Amino acid sequence: MYRLLHLIGPGGAGKTTIGAMLADKLGWQFIDLDERFMAAQGDISSFIQHHGYQCYARCNVELYTTLKSSLLQGTVLALSSGFMTYDQNLLPAYPALLRTIEHDPLTTLLLPSFALEACVEITVRRQLSRPWLSGNGPQEERKIRQRFPLLRALGCRQFESGIAADVLVEQIWKATCLSSPINSPAPG
């Protein structure tokens, strides 16, 4: 089994940017679950519009499970923004999967700010700039307001991502003990 660092958080928190930089620092691969989903299924907004959010969430969890089981090297994996907040009844194995991710010592939550209003403002602004999303401001605001307390309640390391990317990468690297020779990026 290879080392896996999960990056979780809302859209616009910097998971893709920080994940790629962190993977480069570690000599690991970087996987963005949204990018893999779009490569397999097409545009996320269109998929949700045609198949519904629950179908999207199920497909996303199944894609994650397939990716995780096929890892051949250390990996930084950016999860989709809602991944940790799907309906608990989505799939029978989903609640246990969430607990495993939440309590993994390498799981890292990124939030633009720990202050709700600042987080909402930054998240909505960034989400509205993404071409694969529908661009509905009130909907994006509702999502982050609903997800924020759920994300903050998670028992994993949490970082504000509104700082310089290289500084944040260094903080995560040190906090997860990946800077220690004992925790080298070799298979574990």
pTM of the complete model beyond 0.85: yes
140 vs 17: which has the higher pLDDT: 17
Provide the pLDDT for residue 1.
Answer: 56
Distance CA 59, CA 169 (A): 30
Taking 3-state DSSP, the helix, strand and coil percentages for the chain, each rounded to the nearest 5, stand at 55, 10, 35
Query: Tens of pLDDT along 169-185?
Result: 999 999 987 765 433 33
* Sequence-distant (≥ 6) Cβ neighbours of residue 160 within 8 angstroms: 110, 111, 112, 113, 114
Q: Which residues pair with 35 in a beta bridge?
A: none
From the list 152, 151, 123, the residue with the least C-alpha distance to 139 is 123
User: pLDDT per residue over 74-103, tens digit each?
Assistant: 999 999 999 999 999 999 999 999 999 999
